Amino acid sequence: MHPIELDRGTWTATCLAIAVQLLPKEFQLLETLHRHVGKTLSREQLLDAVWALESPTDRTVDDHVYRLRKKLAAWRDAYEIRTIRGAGYRLEAKTAAVERRSNPLLADPVHAERMRKLLDTNLLYGNGDALLALATRPDVFGFELDAPLRSFVPFLEGRFREFVEDRMSFGDRVFFLLHLFHLMKPRESKPYVEAALRQRVMPDIWHKEVELYNIIFMLMDWGEWEAAAAKLEKLWPEALDGEYGNLVPYLANLRLESCISRKRWDGAEREIERIERLMQKYPFQREEGRFAVLSGLALYRERPEAGLERIDGGLATLRRTRFVPHLAGALDVVLRYAAAEGKTALANRYRPEWERLLSDTGMLDILPAVEAELRKLL
């Protein structure tokens, strides 16, 4: 599925590198259809979503769909707004099968290996735009992602609703369901995480990710500090020695977060100094953004203005990466810190973006469905 980038600031929508200028109601209509891509929405549902406080007629929806179709004609190879007689309208993503067959590089194993290395590099450095381009344009790059990474693309973009639908097998969705549930209800995720690891229902790449790396921040969120510290201490020398070298900034940020969460401020200062040196060797955008947020929280205690400036810079870096889950995670850390420390002004500053993110991704709406899916593990 080709990504659609929606910019509320300018009322523009971009797909296939083609930007389209829309009127506000056209933009909101496209946003609503895109949020439910592949599903039919009735005129009543569209009226409620776009014209909630107004008194339009059914014809209002029809007229706006007509104009929107004309403006999106340049995207005809990627999307189509279909009229479903007697039911409403549906935004459909078109298959790229014809495009895939058109590039002979798709059959070249040497080219595929080179592209995998390029993909890994962009993933590591947090270059979301490049990663999305590689994932969605096989016709241009002559390269298709493996199935587990294909499922990562909607997660990266914040298209979380897709993980409670039947577009993928249950096993392919479990990794993402666990992370979504943990983000919203970290104290309640433990039985699902343990069951998923015990039953080995996830593809190997995601099982390893949870078992070795993600489990550390999950243990911290569960309040199991000693278990988290033990895993950190085991991985840290292995990372420094090169076996897991690319994990160094990730693990360093976890050490810093542990200090902040447990109010060990002397330890936090030492970790900040250590990470500032490490980032010169590992300039990974996602970890740089996370570090700026965490160090900003530590700074906020004594120098609030300087702390806010650093937090804002970290969030801006994370927005540039286009990795929506990492932005959500950073906002969650800020709000949890604000709640624990009684920092009302800090919470009020960042809660609106958190709430917009929840709304745009539908996280609150799908939470019951996410948990219902995870109960299959028990």
Q: What is the CA radius of gyration of the chain?
A: 22
Query: What burial letters (b/e) apply to 212-240, b meaning 16+ CB within 10 Å?
Result: ebbbbbbbbbbeeeeebbebbeebbeebe
pLDDT in tens, 228-256: 999 999 999 888 887 667 889 999 999 99
Residue 241 makes CB contacts below 8 A (sequence gap 6+) with none
pTM: 0.75
List per-residue pLDDT tens for the chain, 378 residues long.
Answer: 677 888 888 899 988 778 899 999 999 999 999 988 888 899 889 998 899 878 777 688 989 999 999 899 888 878 889 888 888 899 988 755 444 456 788 778 898 899 888 888 887 777 777 777 777 777 778 888 887 787 888 898 888 988 997 778 899 999 999 999 999 999 999 999 999 999 999 999 999 999 999 999 999 999 999 999 999 999 998 888 876 678 899 999 999 999 999 999 999 999 999 999 988 888 899 999 999 999 999 999 999 999 999 999 999 999 998 899 999 999 999 999 999 999 999 999 999 999 999 988 889 989 999 999 999 998
Residue 294 to residue 181: CA distance in whole angstroms: 22
DSSP string over 329-376: HHHHHHHHHHHHHT-HHHHHHHHHHHHHHHHHHTHHHHHHHHHHHHGG
**Is it true that domain 173-377 has CATH number 3.40.50.1820?**
no
How many angstroms separate the CA atoms of 78 and 309, rounded? 40
- Helix/strand/coil for 166: coil
Q: What's the topology of domain 5-93? A: Arc Repressor Mutant, subunit A (1.10.10)
Task: Supply the angle between the helices 43-50 and 24-35 in degrees, to the nearest 10.
Answer: 120
Domain borders along the chain are 5-93, 97-145, 173-377
User: What is the 3 state secondary structure string of 116-157?
Assistant: HHHHHHHHHHCCHHHHHHHHHCHHHHCCCCCHHHHHHHHHHH
pLDDT digits (tens, 9 = 90+) for 53-73: 787 776 889 899 999 998 998
**Residue carrying structure tokens 């523009």:** 12
Whether 289 and 317 have beta carbons less than 8 Å apart is answered as yes
